[in-house]
Amino acid sequence: MSKKTFLLLITAVSALGGLLFGYDTGVINGAQFYLSKHFDLDSAMKGWVVGSALLGCLVGAIAAGPLSIKFGRKYSLIISAVLFSLSALGSGLPSFFSESVSLLVVFRIIGGLGIGIASMNAPMYIAEIAPSDIRGKMVTYYQLAIVIGFFVVFLATYFIGNNLSEAENIAFGWKYMFWSELIPSCLFLVLLFFVPKSPRWLALKGNDEEALVILTKIHGVEQANKEIAAIKASLKTGDSTVKVNYFSKIIIGIIAIGTALSVLQQFTGINAVLYYGADIFEKALGFGKEDILVQQILLAFVNLIFTFVAMFTIDKFGRKPLIYIGSIGMIVGFLLLGITLQQQSVGFLSLLGVLIFIASFALSMGPVVWVLLSEMFPNKIRSVAMSVAVAAQWAANYVVSQSFPIVMDSEVNNGTTWNGSLPYFIFIGFILIIMIVTYKYIPETKGKSLEEIEEFWNV
C-alpha cells in the first residue's frame, strides 16, 4: 500500500467521527419538527430536547482531554463510536415505553458524549498524522465528513418523512430517523480497530520506536526520522514526566485565543440555522410543510459544495484569508435575510440569504476553526488545550440552541420593529468580532509543521 493511500484511508476512517457528529446533530433537525408535535412541546422544552445533547457534548469534550492523554486518540474514538450507537438505538425508545421526553433526553445526552469526545479527538488525530503541506486539506476532511453527515441525514429524514403521512411521522416516523444512525455508527466502530495510534501520542508516552514505524508508513524513512526528532525536541527529549504549568501567562493566553475562536464559531448562528432550519423555513420564510425537507436538502447540498471549495483552497490561500472572505459572506447572507424579514418582504432573497450564509460558513469558519484548533496548540498541551476549546464551543452551542427559539418567539422579536429579524442582526455583530479577533490574535499556520507552529508561541 502506498504512503498516500495509507494516509487517505486512516484519515477517512477517523473522519467518520465527523460524519457521525453531523449525522447525530442533524437528525434532530428533521426529527424535532415531528417529535415536538408528538410531545406537544413549547418553545422552552423544544430548546431543551435539542440542547440536551449539547450538554453531553460539553461533558464529552471535557472528558476527551484526559481520555486522549491516557488511552490515546484511537481508543478515545472507539469509546465515542460505542456512545453513538447506544444513542441511536435508544433515542426511539420513548415511543414504546413512555410519552415523556425524559428517556429521549437521556439518550440524546449519551450521543452528545460521543460527539464531544469525537469532535476533539478526530481532527487532532488527523492533524498529528498528516504532512504539513497538506494538513489543512486532511483536517478539512473532518469538516467535510460533518457536512456529508448533515447531507445524508437530511436525505434519510426526507426519505422517511416523504414515505409516511404527517400523522405517521408525528406518531413514529421521527423514531426511524434516529435509528437510521445505527448504520454509520456501527461502521465507524468496526473500522477504528484497523487504524494506527497517533505517532505524537506514542512519542508523548515514550514509545518512540512504534511512533517511528507509523511515521515511516506515512512519510517515508528520511522524513519520518526528521519528524520524530522534531517531536522529541518539542517534548523536551520525549520525557513524559515533564510537568506543564497550565497557569503560566503564555499557556493561558494560547488556550484563551483558541477558545475564543472556538466559541465564536457557534456565535455565527450556524447551528441555529441547522437545528431549527425546519422552523425557519416554515415560520420565517413561509414555506409549506411539504417543502421544508426539500429546502433542508438544498441547504445541506450548498454546505457540502462549499466545504469542497474550502478543502481545495485552505492550503493554497491560508487559514486567515478564508475566515475574512467567509465572514463578509456570512454578514451579506444574514443582512439579506434580516432586512427582508424586517421589511416583511419574505421571498427568494430571504432564501438566498440563508444559502449565502451557509455557503460562506462552509468556506470559512466551519473547516478553518477545526484546522486551527488541531494545529495551533503545542504538543505538550494539545489534548488539554483542545479539550478546553472544544468544551467551550459546545457550551456556546448550547446557549445558542437553547435561546434561539425563545428569542424567535419573543414579543420583542415579533414586534413591528424587528418582525422576526432580531437574532440574525445579533449574529452579524458576532461575525464582526470574528474578523477582529482573527486579525489581532490568530497566527497563519499554512505550510508549517506542528513543531514550527509551536515556535510561534515561544513556549
Q: Are 33 and 166 in contact (CB under 8 A)?
A: no
Exposure letters 374-398 (e unless 16+ CB within 10 A, then b):
bbbbbbbbbbbbbbbbbbbbbbbbb
In this structure, what are the phi and psi dihedrals at residue 42, rounded to the nearest 5 degrees?
-85, 180
Segment 6-11 long-range contacts (CB within 8 Å, at least 24 positions apart): 6/217, 6/218, 7/129, 7/130, 7/131, 7/138, 7/218, 9/195, 10/129, 10/195, 10/196, 11/126, 11/129, 11/130, 11/138, 11/141
Which residues, 6 or more positions from 440, have their beta carbon under 8 angstroms from its beta carbon?
none
* Among 404, 458, 372, CA closest to 29: 404
Measured over the CA atoms of residue 139, residue 126, residue 156 and residue 394, the dihedral's sign is negative
What is the structure's pLDDT at 239?
47
Q: Which amino acid is at 46?
A: K
Contact indicator for 24, 368 with CB cutoff of 8 Å:
no
Q: Domains in the chain, start-ordered, CATH in brackets?
A: 3-457 (1.20.1250.20)
Residues near 199 by beta carbon (within 8 Å), at least 6 away in sequence? 128, 129, 210, 211, 212, 214, 215, 218, 227, 228, 231
Residues 6+ apart with CB under 8 A from 342: 418, 419, 420, 421
pLDDT along the chain (459 residues), means of 10: 85 91 80 83 79 87 93 95 92 65 88 93 92 91 88 84 84 87 93 93 91 91 90 65 76 96 96 72 61 73 93 95 98 95 86 93 96 92 93 89 86 91 96 97 92 83
H/E stretch holding 420: none
pLDDT at 198: 93
What's the length of the chain?
459
CA distances in angstroms from 382 to 21, 145, 189, 320, 428, listed in the order given: 21, 22, 24, 21, 31
CA dist 137 → 92, 310, 372 (Å): 37, 8, 12
3-state SS, one letter per residue, for 314-374: HHHHCHHHHHHHHHHHHHHHHHHHHHHHHCCCCCHHHHHHHHHHHHHHHHCHHHHHHHHHH
Q: What DSSP designation does 172 have?
A: I
pTM: 0.82
User: If we measure between CA atoms, which residue out of 146, 88, 81 comes closest to residue 114?
Assistant: 81
d(CA 50, CA 300): 19
Q: Which amino acid is at 411?
A: E
Write the CB contacts of 351 (distance below 8 Å, at least 6 apart in sequence).
285, 295
Residue 119 exposure: Cα atoms within 13 Å on the Cβ side = 34
Picking from 264, 379, 367, the residue whose alpha carbon sits closest to that of residue 318 is 367
Q: How far is CA 125 from CA 117, 201, 371, in A?
A: 12, 9, 11
pLDDT at position 44: 77
d(C-alpha 235, C-alpha 233), whole Å: 5
Distance of CA 246 to the CA centre of its chain: 26
Task: Give, in order, the Cα–Cα distances in Å from 75 to each of 184, 211, 349.
Answer: 18, 16, 47
**Phi, then psi, of 394 in degrees rounded to 5:** -70, -35
Q: Would you state the torsion angle of the CA atoms of residues 128, 393, 264, 201, taken in this order, to the nearest 10 degrees? A: -10
Q: What is the rounded CA–CA span in Å between residue 100 and residue 8?
A: 44
Q: Give me the pLDDT at residue 247, please.
A: 85
Name, in order, each residue with C-beta under 8 angstroms of 306's C-beta and a sequence gap of 6 or more.
358, 359, 360, 362, 363
DSSP letter at 207 equals -
pLDDT of 385 reads 94
From residue 347, alpha-carbon distances to 105, 279, 286, 343 in Å are: 36, 16, 8, 11
pLDDT value of position 232: 84
